[in-house]
Amino acid sequence: MRPDWNQYFMDIAELVKTRSTCLRRQVGAVIVKDKRILTTGYNGAPSGMRHCLELGGCLREQMKVPSGERHELCRALHAEQNAIIQAAYHGISIQGGTMYVTLQPCSLCAKMAVNAGIEKIVFKGSYPDELSMAILQEAGIELVLYKD
């Protein structure tokens, strides 16, 4: 059976996340406009830098930091951040776009999505960050919880 657009783009986000180098959680993001893929991103260390596995493990795991807290201790960029950065790097406007992401965005990614002009976010799974949802709702970004 032919997938609808949401399933199609979410399936691609699921594939993108397989490139993740994060030891805690793999996340993939796809930014789309007019049913065309503009950028993708997955969570991992900045380009050319060593990944946590190469450094002996995840610092946040070693410090027993709960999920959704102390993002500044993580070497990785989030999938949403990488997708937005890729657009900027290549001079692609994502204003008015839709972001498909395999996990609810955190508050940092929510703020970036707002300022990047993302109009809709389709996401799977919840993340323990209530502020992110409040930010996205206040900004008027359409939120769609994707269900398989």
Per-residue pLDDT tens digits for 51-71: 888 988 988 888 999 888 888
Q: Is the pLDDT of residue 148 over 90?
A: no
Per-residue model confidence as pLDDT tens digits over 75-107: 899 999 999 999 999 999 999 999 999 999 999
At what angle are helices 107-116 and 79-89 packed, to 10 degrees?
Answer: 30
Pairing, β 120-123 against β 98-101: parallel
Q: Is the pLDDT of residue 45 over 90?
A: yes
**Residue 91 zone, left/alpha/beta (φ > 0; ψ -120 to 50; rest):** left
Where do the H-state alpha helices sit in 23-76? 59-62
User: Which pLDDT score, from 0 to 100, does residue 69 have?
Assistant: 85
pLDDT greater at residue 105 or residue 23: 105
Q: Please give the Cα distance from 142 to 4 (Å, whole number).
A: 18
At residue 9, φ and ψ (nearest 5 deg) are -70, -35
Confidence (pTM): 0.94
Asked if 39 and 92 count as a contact pair (C-beta separation under 8 A), the reply is: yes
Q: Is the pLDDT of residue 30 over 90?
A: yes
Q: Catalytic positions, please?
A: 80
pLDDT greater at residue 145 or residue 128: 145
Pairing, β 142-145 against β 120-123: parallel
pLDDT band for position 73 (cuts 50, 70, 90): confident
